[in-house]
Structure 1
Amino acid sequence: MKKIMTADKKYFSTLANYNSWANNIAIEWLNQINDGQWEQVIVSSFTSIKQTAIHIASAEKIWLDFWNHIPQPVFLSAEFNGSKNDLIEIWKSSSAGLKNFISAYPEENYQQQVTFKYPRGGEGSMEFWQTFSHLINHCTYHRGQLVTLLRQVGFTKLSSTDLATYYRMTQKTTTLT
């Protein structure tokens, strides 16, 4: 039985562009907060804005490593000791890397298996399109957490990073036909 792939390269490119757009907005928020807000301990999935941002950037970087078959990929979230600016540069690079990867990755490979390692040990495998979809969903989920965390530390200069907002703002360039 042939599997039917419902997503195509244009759609995946649009999602990669959306992810980069939303990440850039989140990064602008992070550029506006002070070190106290960045490291303030907050009850959430992660203990601070810093830890949440590290997690998002780490996930983007590690999936790119898995897709590119990097032999010893490093989970940034386990080893990052840099500054906020260092993390922002890594995040920007991963975001751009995701767009470039999707642009160059052949659509006929979307159903190929991707082997990956779990952060706490063990391996898994999913089709590429599933891992890509997971990454986009994962980043969206944790950017939403950033909004809540930022509000809790008193930052209120927030704007929408919703996919519908992205479509509205880029309507002429993202029409899928």
Structure 2
Amino acid sequence: MKHEALRLYEYHVWANEKVFERLQEVPEEVSEQQVPSVFPTITQTLAHILKTDYVWLLAMKGESYEEVGPKVAVLLQELKGKNVHELRKLFAESAQQFRGFFGQISMEDTAPYRHPALGTVHARYADIVQHVANHGTYHRGNISAMLRQMGHAGASSDFIFYLFETSAVEQ
């Protein structure tokens, strides 16, 4: 049986894809329109989700806070100016990297995560995956709110929709 954290990660990937599908249905300039929100544009919000996923993948792979920082700086430079279509491809590549890593670990194993201001926490890989999914959910909600502010419907990416869609496939 698939570990619950793996299903949660697949939900995260599915929900991100629902956002990209929705963004294909609105005028392209909507993704770059400035809106008073957590991030100024939808593409900047997507870049933040991707960056945070990347940070946690590196951390789960055992890279230190000090090692992750310079790699994130490079990623942020690469993400500047990316449009929705380019970001969608990068999200797909990220998902493949996560899945490859998941094939090498047990979700129940723990690893230390050290932060200079917060200290060290020992967490299961499953806990970090839950954090990644929760973080993505929060910001997908920001994107839906931004779309609504601009007069467009948001993406239906709630977990229950994932369950309905994937259970229909499984039956």
TM-score normalised per structure 1: 0.76
Flag the structure with more relative contact order, 1 or 2, with Cα contacts below 8 A and sequence separation at least 6: 2
Q: Out of 128, 132, 140, which is 1:135 matched to?
A: 132
Question: Offset of 1:104 from its aligned partner?
Answer: 3.2
Q: Deviations for 1:84-131, whole angstroms, at most 9, x for unmatched residues?
A: 13322212211333333334322341x22234x5xxx75653313332
Determine the structure 2 residue equivalent to 1:97.
97
Query: What is the deviation of 1:151?
Result: 1.8
Higher helix share: 2
For normalisation by structure 2, the TM-score amounts to: 0.78
Separation in 2 of the partners of 1:61 and 1:31? Answer: 24
State the distance in 1 between where 2:111 and 2:55 align.
Answer: 18
- Separation (CA, whole Å) in 2 of partners of 1:33 and 1:100: 33
Per-residue deviation at 1:39?
A: 1.4
Query: 2 CA distance for matches of 1:87 and 1:106?
Result: 29
Q: Quickly say closer, same or farther: Cα 1:88–1:78, change in 2 above 3 A.
A: same
Q: Distance in 2 between matches of 1:124 and 1:29?
A: 39
Q: CA distance change for structure 1 residues 42 and 112 in 2, over 3 Å: closer, same or farther?
A: same
Alpha-carbon contact 1:61-1:94 (below 8 Å) kept: yes
Pair 1:162 & 2:161 matched: no
Cα distance in 2 for partners of 1:168, 1:26 equals 17
Equivalent of residue 171 in structure 1, options 152, 167, 170: 167
User: Quick check: 1:42–1:149 contact (8 Å CA) kept in 2?
Assistant: yes
User: Mean Cα displacement is larger for which, 28-37 or 88-97?
Assistant: 28-37
Structure 1 gaps of 5+ residues are 1-7
Change (3 A) 1:44 1:159: closer
* Partner Cα distance (1:134, 1:82) in 2: 27
- In structure 2, runs of 5+ residues without a counterpart are none
User: Percent identity of the aligned residues?
Assistant: 25
Query: Structure 2 vs 1, CA of residues 54 and 107 (structure 1 numbering), >3 Å: closer, same or farther?
Result: closer
Query: Is the CA contact (8 Å cut-off) linking 2:144 and 2:155 kept in structure 1?
Result: no
